[in-house]
Structure 1
Amino acid sequence: MTTTSPVGPTRPVRLWEDGFALDPYGYYAALRAQGPVGWAELAPGVPAYVVTERRAALELLRDTGTFSHDPRPWESTVAEDSPVLGMMRWRPNSLFSDGAAHVRYRASLIDAFERIEPHDLRARVHRAVHVLVSRIGPRGQADLVGEFARPLMALVFNSLFGLPDSQSERLDRALGKMMEGGSQATEGEAEFGGYVLELIAAKAESRGDDLPSWLLDHPAGLSPEEVTWQVFLTLGAGHEPTANLVSNALSRILGTSVYYSTLTSGARPVMDAVVEVLHHETPLANYGIHYARSPVTFHGAWIRPAIPVVVSYGALAHFAEQEVVSGRHPKDASHLSWSAGPHACPVKQHTLLIATEAIERLTLWLPDLEPVVPRPELTWRPGPFHRSLTSLPVRFSPRSPDQPGDPS
């Protein structure tokens, strides 16, 4: 399908095609060729402006007067079965709100997460790694995406939200369908919504020492419905990008033997690999979605209301990496994986702790991980929003976490 473009070629760059997962950088180059703001499709017939230049992205993310996070004017133009609606539909939470409502929702989330002590979060990660290594260790082979990174996040976040381990697979499956934006996206959104509704109903009936209970009792006075949508946001935003961060970092570490040996020897911290991914292979590739409040010219593009304006964190990272190689960009330049402005990620320290502890603990249990597939041959999940491996197969010396000499 073709749509009229206000910024360049008639045919939009189709971020929903299978080719995007195979080679996103070719698609980013096509967008960048149109200027700082390109014309794309997030799904068939769903056009969007995509920002691929850092200065324009920062201006967009900080300009709350010109741009809004409220998608409802756009939402009314989209078919109810659109595969991207689950990721973009309006809900009364901090992501889709502006002004006082955004401040209220965001403050409640920050306050709730600040109650999680680092040592407690570290212990939850260690426990989750132990559970997973108990499953895969004796086999001597595993898929570090499907059998480690994704179930690890489900275990950790279920623990934080007061749910048992037995619910982890259900959470992982629903979020995976919704994030990919394919034919199962609507089903995944419904499954995830049901999951969260059941959780909040249980916590409204009987509180626990967990995030939903803290939100329900927060001085901001959030209603059960508002808490439901804060949890919907934080579970989704916490699980998927963090799982991708872990698996993308592991693929980089294991893809270079020298890199891996410096990490396992302690000569190089795991944080280096995590930060490298945030700089150059960010797990949430295209999001930070805004909508113009009225027609406006923005960095050479005529932006119309009710059409999403997407920040391509993946494109920003890719072109920044090119500039580092060419010497035109300082190596310590900050990345935008956490976004910027009033909607910047409020819990990045928690995310970094989960990712680094997970990788450190895994490599402590299984110090001789060896990739089965060369990194250039790894495959990536479809979808316009994320950069997410399909699998990361490895082999290693079989090990049981209960054998003598276990890490403490």
Structure 2
Amino acid sequence: MTHPSPAEQAFSLAAPVRLWEDGFARDPHPYYAALRAQGPVGWAELAPGVPAYVVTDRRAALDLLHDTETFSHDPRPWEATVPDDSPVLGMMRWRPNTLFADGAAHIRYRTALLDAFDLVEPHDLRAGVHRAVHLLVGRFGPRGEADLVGEFTRPLMALVFNSLFGLPESASDRLDAALGKLIEGGAQAAQGEAEYAGYVLELIAAKSERRGNDLPSWLLDHPAGLTPEEVTWQVFLTLGAGHEPTANLVSNALSRILGNPAYYSTLTSGARPVTDAVLEVLHHETPLANYGIHYARTPVTFHGAWIRAAVPVVISYGALAQAAEQERGGDRHPGDASHLSWSAGPHACPVKQHTLLIATEAIERLTQWLPDLEPVLPRERLTWRPGPFHRSLTALPVRFSPRSPDQPGGRP
């Protein structure tokens, strides 16, 4: 085992950058700058009294993501060091699923998920997004105004993912509310975790009794032989990881599009694909800003920092994006895929194509129905939900010409 140098010891005693503050939600850039000033690995707090190392350098992030010998995804040694009521436990506690597994267990769970999602036909997924957009625009379109977060992106994802997982539309509000509490990591995090867990347990119990043409049923019948409990935790992961970040991806993209009228006109005219707008968000305002959590198996020196065992090592995709933007001066080809929003290595996002399809179809369909969307507030006056992990708008108020999807001459 190596031992820390005096410089590395001093780093571990530095004042942590507090990612749980309200100021971080309002403007994360000064916080990322403070972390980057410490070197490739910074020292932060995810919640009061919950320290973490934060990787802000691309090379260091890639090394971390590919080094399965030095680092583990299993948080149980860390869990033993934090209070049971810690607000970040809902996003970080161990569960028997692919995110928190290493080695053979990870491969088994991941293979089952990949095989199940391969059964999702892109045409059916696209049609599901279109139906959800039609339903939601039918609710708010005649008013000529809406909150695109509360009335579009979040309920849209609940509708789409409930369909994929074999749940009725009537359950969408319950899913949305539970996940919102869980990911913010605040006072209601434990309640949100419990509500979401109950939601998933009821789903798997129903599918164990009667299969359907849906992801839980395919997982239950997969040759890997996952138990109902294991399927429960794969669904807990994928339903949550699909809903929340994808909703934020769409709302962040819409806010950037609508804040730039010239850019918006190129999208509505078809001169520029919506995919470009989605990629812009993945580069500059990624919806899951700080995650990819690892734990050193033993104390180790990593890119100049002394990493203790059982302390989270978080990848700041948001800080990586900020650094890349400054280095390039904002000059980037639209097809550039150099961001790490999908992660990398063995735990890279297994369903990024599904996510891209949902996001681009949602934005395209909405802007086809309502081509004159106009933001009510300038982008700098929008507010953001608190929490160390995500970049998520609280609301995106817009106005437009009143329209019903069923009116004569309606679009698309």
TM over 0.5: yes
User: Is structure 2 residue 41 aligned with structure 1 residue 37?
Assistant: yes
Q: How does 1:2-401 map to 2 (within 5 A)?
A: 7=11, 10-325=14-329, 332=336, 334-401=338-405
- 1:360/1:330 Cα in 2 relative to 1: closer, same or farther (>3 Å)? closer
Matched position secondary structure for 2:193: helix
Q: Once the two structures are superposed, what CA deviation does each residue of 1:188-240 show, in whole Å capped at 9, x if it has no partner?
A: 00000000000000000110000000000000000000000000000110001
Q: Is the 2:12–2:306 Cα contact (8 Å) retained in structure 1? A: no
Distance 1:118 1:49 in 2: 39
RMSD, matched Cα: 1.4
Distance 2:204 2:12 in 1: 47
- 1:138/1:46 Cα in 2 relative to 1: closer, same or farther (>3 Å)? same
Distance 2:362 2:337 in 1: 26
- 1:129/1:387 Cα in 2 relative to 1: closer, same or farther (>3 Å)? same
Deviation of 1:121 after TM superposition, in Å, equals 0.2
Number of residue pairs aligned between Structure 1 and Structure 2: 404
Deviation of 1:377 after TM superposition, in Å, equals 1.2
Deviation of 1:324 after TM superposition, in Å, equals 1.2
Deviation of 1:10 after TM superposition, in Å, equals 2.7
Deviation of 1:7 after TM superposition, in Å, equals 2.2
Matched position secondary structure for 1:95: helix
Counterpart AA for 2:58: R
TM-score, length basis structure 2: 0.96
Q: Is the 1:7–1:300 Cα contact (8 Å) retained in structure 2? A: no
Matched position secondary structure for 2:11: coil
Q: Once the two structures are superposed, what CA deviation does each residue of 1:341-375 show, in whole Å capped at 9, x if it has no partner?
A: 00000000000000000000000111100000001
- 1:198/1:5 Cα in 2 relative to 1: closer, same or farther (>3 Å)? farther
Structure 2 residue ranges without an equivalent (≥5): 1-7
Distance 1:390 1:299 in 2: 36
Counterpart AA for 2:61: A
Distance 1:124 1:255 in 2: 28
Distance 1:388 1:233 in 2: 19
Distance 1:6 1:316 in 2: 24
Runs of 4+ in 1 over 2 A off after TM superposition: 4-10, 329-333
Q: Is the 2:294–2:314 Cα contact (8 Å) retained in structure 1? A: yes
Q: Is the 1:6–1:301 Cα contact (8 Å) retained in structure 2? A: no
Q: Is the 1:6–1:302 Cα contact (8 Å) retained in structure 2? A: no
Q: Is the 2:112–2:224 Cα contact (8 Å) retained in structure 1? A: yes
Deviation of 1:406 after TM superposition, in Å, equals 2.7
Deviation of 1:11 after TM superposition, in Å, equals 1.6
